[in-house]
Chains A and B, each alone.
Chain A
């Protein structure tokens, strides 16, 4: 009853706002109202007011956006009888309306995200049995060893925990392939992984045929196991020791719970972060999703399965026939089915696994293409808004998640719309300068402020636009093909173990340079037209300004596709852990400064050892997490650096037995607290103004870097060609 009253009151308030914003007031009034609202929002933002004020600021923004939509719909579309203007004009209108709709959906999702849940440790003595599934397809044994070791090392009663390596790379189908090479590789892999599993105490499982990709593999695992709960980790996602203890408790609370999802934390930067060098100081792209959107979804019981780092209930999966495999994003699809049959999900906002993400731009795009195509398939086959069994908020949440991937369309339109005017003199947006100021500029400002308000410390200004832009060029055809042939896309495993050792242009970077060239040309056209057509300089300047914004984004995109070479293949994690360094049977007191999956840096207190030869064998002795026994990990010295009494030694692990993998895993993955700290260290909202300035600076630098790569690359190729010609 009370709830109905609140809904009624809210509906009335909304209707009043709608009635007010759809009044056909004059431009002066609109201008003043815009200024007042923008000022109000700015003040609220500057005061960092939270809670109710946050929603008030959002309501302000919504009012201005609704006014914009009303005005845009009623007075800016080109007349229907000018088809050459109307068609592109209407496309632009649709693109804008899509953006507004997405903003509305995300407002719904994240306007009041659930606060991080307090730790819900599993009750001692009531531990359900858990099967850990690590599906693999082509990842190498070294990577798998770390993951499996970490999984095995999780704090959980050993009799309740079974770790399964689900190998799809060594299936009977592959081992008997007509392709000789594939056949031999599969056989070798089958052999190697069986041995590794044996060593680590892990169950190895493969199947006859590679049906239904990852979903099929997981279902095969389910067929062979009986645990109450199923934890899924990707081959490169190593869990922290406390993963299970932090997650299984929720299943006790809610018998209808099917999923506890945790965030994906990555040890290495994605290609954008790597090439722009923002990994250390700016929140990662996925933090917006895991840091706020999943929390928002969780409020509406719509947090969904992300393929890894999650625990699921077997009983629930059994009910819907296991993991769904219609789409290539089986995770989200499984979640939607289970949500629709009345099961619940929970999101734990704390990184409990650490993994790798694609290192090259090409594989990054490959991964995103899979997500986009999979979401298109879900949109097509499940159409969440009409899906029976889902609650209304869940429908909206899933619509938000799937429709998001249509962004390549509006992004393309926004990219090329200014060119319609600059190159072809089409007038696809009819508005005067004053109207532009009073409506469009206010809308854009409010939009940016709202984004900053919603995601401020998780996503800096213009970064969303940059990510969308760099994905758009290759995602657009992928999305179109998925829309046209929803059954065609097939599951492709994203390669994550590549590394870029030499600076080079991405193999799929060419279109970015072409687009940049076109936009640059448009900039010159703008200047030319302002000069030669002074009577419409105002319109030209506005459109030219828009194009300039696109150009800045495109320039920054050049930096993204210019792959920086990196010496170390993987990222180092700061740990600071006491240990002893063993050299020639002597033990020196030392601390481990940072670690990576391949090696560690150790500060040794030793006056005498001096500089060491490369490949000198050494030992690191340390206590594993949560135990008192000391264990020894063999290493090889790669470099030394003497500074007073402290010698800093960079060393490479030399794992010899399975236990050594567990020690490496313990060094890197045992302590999940350090990941949280790392994330928090780069979370900070620079604010709209500073963030924009920073971005423009970054974009300028990246443009020049991209162009430098482009020309040096061409120069190198030309030289190679000419030298080849000379030798011939």
Chain B
């Protein structure tokens, strides 16, 4: 009951237009019970059920919380799960944090006697409990030892070990889950003043709301003033890099200023005079010198980040005081991609031949007594990664399995959720695998952070019999040792254009640009700026530093430089449509259908339907069967048999699509143009907000990605024809690998080239032999 209400509120909160109206409903009444329940139900494991009906209470009594789940509700599934991430606390919060509240509910199938949930903070275990809350959400109120929390990053680790009540099959492990309720999982403080932020470092402590979202609410009276755009975008990027939260967004407003909720921060930007009306207690120096710092809003009691000064020039200086430390002087190589706010440790950034021990990747030696063991780690690959078609990484696995593990068990490797390799266990009687090489195809790798999971499916005789209590047996069956290694060989590196995945992963190619990137906004208003800031914030966080931009009034000034276009599609310059291969008709036609139904018939769908209907023919059937066989066994489709890429077909956004991100070359092919467009400015703002959430943003790929707000889905149009962009100094070994990948994509080219070269070699040999030795 609580959740739907909250959701509605959250959705309301996301709408910029209703900011002012939010103050009243935003007193978060539903949270009151959540806050009080742990104190009452403590020690009883949340036996007291709280009434679900919201109780309206005055806003002043709301105490300060830090929600800790980075992505909203956290599902712990299967027999074993281990999640680690970090939460940034200000010194005051660290000193005053005394309790961790944790709410969870689990599947009815989880056997409480043998299933444990444990919580660690900064490597100190603060809870290790039986999982026994199938009926409703149970809240645990966990006391934190004194001095456990530190100012800065605090490592939080939640581990679950779950066993089925009755079933011993591997299939049954998918029925095991515990859901950590984000809304009931937070740090609470003895002292209510902890919400006061003091130093600029405290920006990192912005945190998340109960859905895992983070938002910077900019209030800028002079928003539409053209000169303000560049510093504001720079500030947004700086804040994005500092906070580096998984689901962060920016919204702009000219007037209203509301109380900050958890996971939100109000940022007030303007000259002293402009801000006078908003904040009576403006810092004293603001009218004479640049000012950057936190001020408490007397109306709401929330801290407000104020950037002010006598002129916009001074404001720029104030902004620099925040942003400058995040700048990188020269494009240096990062060793890691920072992910620790949602996943720790950070993903090591791999550019070339590298071997990493599992211990370096955050995996520990561990024994496992269940039937499906799964663990994972992350690595980062650069934006010019070009080895998906041919590449193979290797996991050198150190593991052991006990004698009761039956042959037929297997160890599977998943890359970003797709299966990449399977190693069958073929011998009985147990075994120790010492650096067993497992080839992992790089097909599912993408620029940016990649998750590689290792799953062991362990069948035993005991499980077949499944005597009562067998699921709870704690005899280890499998052990994974942290001496295992992940080895990535040198891989082909060359930029591809278009490649939205590279942009999403590491901000490429804009992150590498040494000059300011032209930014074309069709108009300067709150919606467009919100979308632009959110988008650029994403790029900056991906690149690890702010990207210098300049605004251009007219697309003609861009020339052939790499640029970003943000606005409604109808206002986009004509060149965009040609360069991105988007049907120009969509300029006028795109938008939600008034009738709510698709008007025209989708040609492709209709064709497929007809094809399905006509599947009866014998020959046709045979061909289809053969195609299926090829696809199943060798992953070859008739379309993959090609010499080279075919040219792109024109793209028309569907009426369901509410946001479009597309990439294409500049007219002479040297620059990368990216367009973020929606039917209207409002769509642009709202959908950019949603798309920027990590789960959606990671799906950005291909040449066009659209977001459908109706179905909350992300769709991509794969790249067909693309251009190479040199990113590395020319070297034979790199070109060789690039050729390998290109030919692995354009399969027939290889065959034809091989045939051609063989003919030439044959001719050469014939000539050679005709001229050497005896002839007659």
Interface residues of A, Cβ cutoff 8 Å to B: 2-3, 6-7, 9-10, 13-14, 16-17, 19-21, 23-29, 31-33, 35-37, 40, 51-53, 55-60, 62-63, 75, 79, 81-82, 111-112, 114-115, 117, 298-301, 393, 425, 430, 434, 533-536
Contact A28 B758 (CB under 8 A): no
Contact flag A111-B437 (CB < 8 Å), given A21-B754, A37-B758, A56-B759: no
Closest Cβ neighbor of B774 among chain A residues: A299
Q: What residues on A are CB-neighbors of B752 within 8 Å?
A: 36
Q: Which residue of the partner chain, among B424, B753, B764, B776, contacts A114 with CB atoms under 8 Å?
A: B776
Contact A112 B769 (CB under 8 A): yes
Q: What residues on B are CB-neighbors of A59 within 8 Å?
A: 758-759, 761-762, 765
Range of interface residues on B (Cβ < 8 Å): 35 or more
Closest Cβ neighbor of A23 among chain B residues: B740
Q: Of B17-25, B292-300, B631-639, which stretch is located at the interface?
A: B631-639
Q: Of B162-170, B278-286, B308-316, B741-749, which stretch is located at the interface?
A: B741-749
Contact B754 A299 (CB under 8 A): no
Answer whether residue B763 sits at the interface, using C-beta atoms and an 8 A cutoff: yes
How far is B726's CA from A460's CA once the two chains are assembled, in angstroms? 54
Contact B764 A9 (CB under 8 A): yes
Answer whether residue B722 sits at the interface, using C-beta atoms and an 8 A cutoff: no
Contact A25 B390 (CB under 8 A): yes
How far is B765's CA from A10's CA once the two chains are assembled, in angstroms? 6
Closest Cβ neighbor of A44 among chain B residues: B762
Closest CB in chain B relative to A716 CB, distance in Å? 47
Answer whether residue B3 sits at the interface, using C-beta atoms and an 8 A cutoff: no
Closest Cβ neighbor of A425 among chain B residues: B427
Which residue, A25, A26, A32, has most C-beta atoms of chain B within 10 A? A26
Closest Cβ neighbor of B435 among chain A residues: A81
Closest Cβ neighbor of A14 among chain B residues: B761
Answer whether residue B739 sits at the interface, using C-beta atoms and an 8 A cutoff: yes
Closest CB in chain B relative to A106 CB, distance in Å? 14
How far is B774's CA from A117's CA once the two chains are assembled, in angstroms? 11
5 A-B pairs with the lowest CB-CB distances in the bound complex, closest first: A56-B762, A59-B762, A36-B751, A112-B769, A59-B761
How far is B769's CA from A62's CA once the two chains are assembled, in angstroms? 16
Q: What residues on A are CB-neighbors of B633 within 8 Å?
A: 434
Contact A63 B757 (CB under 8 A): yes
Q: What residues on A are CB-neighbors of B332 within 8 Å?
A: none
Answer whether residue B595 sits at the interface, using C-beta atoms and an 8 A cutoff: no
25 examples of A-B residue contacts, CB within 8 angstroms:
A6-B767, A10-B768, A23-B750, A24-B391, A26-B744, A29-B390, A29-B750, A32-B641, A32-B751, A36-B751, A37-B755, A37-B758, A55-B763, A56-B766, A60-B758, A62-B758, A75-B439, A114-B774, A299-B769, A300-B774, A425-B427, A434-B634, A533-B407, A533-B408, A535-B410
Contact B739 A23 (CB under 8 A): yes
Contact B737 A533 (CB under 8 A): no
Closest CB in chain A relative to B223 CB, distance in Å? 52
Q: What residues on A are CB-neighbors of B641 within 8 Å?
A: 32
Q: What residues on B are CB-neighbors of A20 within 8 Å?
A: 750, 753-754, 757
Closest CB in chain B relative to A158 CB, distance in Å? 33
Contact B424 A536 (CB under 8 A): yes
Contact A535 B771 (CB under 8 A): no
Closest Cβ neighbor of B439 among chain A residues: A75
Closest Cβ neighbor of A33 among chain B residues: B751
Q: Which residue of the partner chain, among B407, B748, B774, contacts A301 with CB atoms under 8 Å?
A: B774
Answer whether residue B594 sits at the interface, using C-beta atoms and an 8 A cutoff: no
Which residue, B407, B427, B766, B770, has most C-beta atoms of chain A within 10 A? B766
Q: What residues on B are CB-neighbors of A57 within 8 Å?
A: 762
Q: Which residue of the partner chain, among B736, B771, B773, contacts A300 with CB atoms under 8 Å?
A: B773
Q: What residues on B are CB-neighbors of A14 within 8 Å?
A: 761, 764
Q: What residues on B are CB-neighbors of A114 within 8 Å?
A: 774-776
Contact A28 B437 (CB under 8 A): no
How far is B776's CA from A117's CA once the two chains are assembled, in angstroms? 8
Contact flag A25-B743 (CB < 8 Å), given A13-B764, A81-B435: yes
Answer whether residue B475 sits at the interface, using C-beta atoms and an 8 A cutoff: no
Contact A55 B766 (CB under 8 A): yes
Give residues of chain B (694-748) contacting chain A, Cβ–Cβ below 8 Å: 736-737, 739-740, 743-744, 747-748
Answer whether residue B277 sits at the interface, using C-beta atoms and an 8 A cutoff: no
Q: What residues on A are CB-neighbors of B391 within 8 Å?
A: 24
How far is B426's CA from A31's CA once the two chains are assembled, in angstroms? 27
How far is B433's CA from A82's CA once the two chains are assembled, in angstroms? 9
How far is B760's CA from A114's CA once the two chains are assembled, in angstroms? 23
Contact B736 A25 (CB under 8 A): no
Answer whether residue B222 sits at the interface, using C-beta atoms and an 8 A cutoff: no
Give residues of chain B (122-159) contacting chain A, Cβ–Cβ below 8 Å: none
Q: Which residue of the partner chain, among A3, A26, A75, A298, contacts B390 with CB atoms under 8 Å?
A: A26
